[in-house]
Amino acid sequence: MTVYVLNGPNLNLLGAREPEIYGRATLEDIKNALEAHAARAGTVIEFRQSNHEGVLVDWVQEAGAKAKGLIINPGAYTHTSIALHDALKAVSTPKIELHLSNVHAREAFRRSSMVSPAVTAVICGLGAAGYLTALDALLRLIDKKPFP
């Protein structure tokens, strides 16, 4: 089973960019931890990052055709991208929106998401551990297992 994990703009700077907000883990650290976690669950991760909105839209569409589920950290496109919203709406598999920080405790403009109405669930504020939590939740959604 393959799960796509897509990361938006500036997430390639994790570990260096505002570590007091986003933590010290790099995107590579997160990828490695998530791949190990996924392997224990018998899942393969397709982990990608782009600073370009259209590339992310293409990958969402690809995930809709090839993956059992999708985790997306859209970064700043969360608040602006109708294109991502529309692409996510077209994907029928379970989808989780993920944010490292608690976007609801930050600037007012970060409290609005164009993506949230198009996904199954949202996880925010858990830092890098949110990726592991998102994968666990997504696998339950894919398998239609109830949450305890």
Residue of 22, 77, 85, 131 with catalytic role: 22
Please give the backbone phi and psi of residue 20, each rounded to the nearest 5 degrees, phi first: -70, -20
Nearest 5°: the CA angle 114, 115, 121 is 135
* Residue 69 · residue 94 · CB < 8 Å: yes
Decide if 105 contacts 99 (C-beta within 8 A): no
**Per the residue annotation, which of 4, 77, 85, 99 is the catalytic one?**
99
- Nearest residue to 3 via CA among 92, 71, 90: 71
Length of the chain: 148
* Active site (annotated) includes residue 131: no
37 catalytic? Reply is: no
Active-site residues, by number, are: 22, 99
